[in-house]
Amino acid sequence: MAIIDPADMDKDLSVGEVAERSGVAVSTIHFYESKGLIASWRSSGNQRRFPRDVLRRIAIIKVAQRLGVPLATIAQALKTLPDGRTPTAEDWKRLSAAWKADLDERIAVLTKLRDGLEGCIGCGCLSLGECPLRNPWDELSEDGPGPRLLDPR
């Protein structure tokens, strides 16, 4: 396959074409489909055929991942989009605004952590019960009290 005939521009895409045009591996596309992030129909020979909106969906997935959004959350979000319709700028605005809020919060958490660290570099006590670096509840609280994994990703 050498040159794309303009008449084919609105044809659906094979998995290899999607891989090439989106920059993700074929296996990743299979994987995303298995997780319900994207959808396809099958050709007569049982091959996947993807509507073109899959490219935009994959773009959204990849950006969201850079923002630190887990795939399961992305899947939720993508389910709010009409099936097979290319996500509009409006859709993107809605999704990305939500993710930006998450990102803002993660930045805030890390910044507080850094400030706490700054104060503690000189101190060095690290005592459980006194050191703000060791006790998440104080100024560094992330998500309210209660037992919680200390994972500030």
Partner DNA sequence: TCCTGACCTCAAGTGAAGTTGAGGTCATAT
Partner DNA sequence: ATATGACCTCAACTTCACTTGAGGTCAGGA
Question: Contact positions toward a second copy, by CB under 8 A?
Answer: 21-23, 56, 59-60, 62-63, 65-68, 88-89, 92-93, 96-97, 99-100, 103-104, 106-107, 110-111, 113-114, 117-118, 120-124, 126-128, 131, 133-134, 136, 150-153
Per-residue x/- track, 80-119, DNA (CB under 7 A): ----------------------------------------
Bridge partners, residue 13, by sequence: 50
**By C-beta, is 75 or 103 nearer to a second copy?**
103
List b or e across 17-45, with b for residues whose CB sees 16 or more CB atoms inside 10 angstroms: bbbeebebeeeebeebbeeebbbbeeeee
Q: How far apart are CA 152 and CA 106, in angstroms?
A: 7
39-78 footprint of DNA as x/- string (CB under 7 A)? -----xxxxx----------------x----xxx------
The answer to whether 56 and 86 are in contact (CB under 8 A) is: yes
**Tokens matching residue 153:** 């990703």
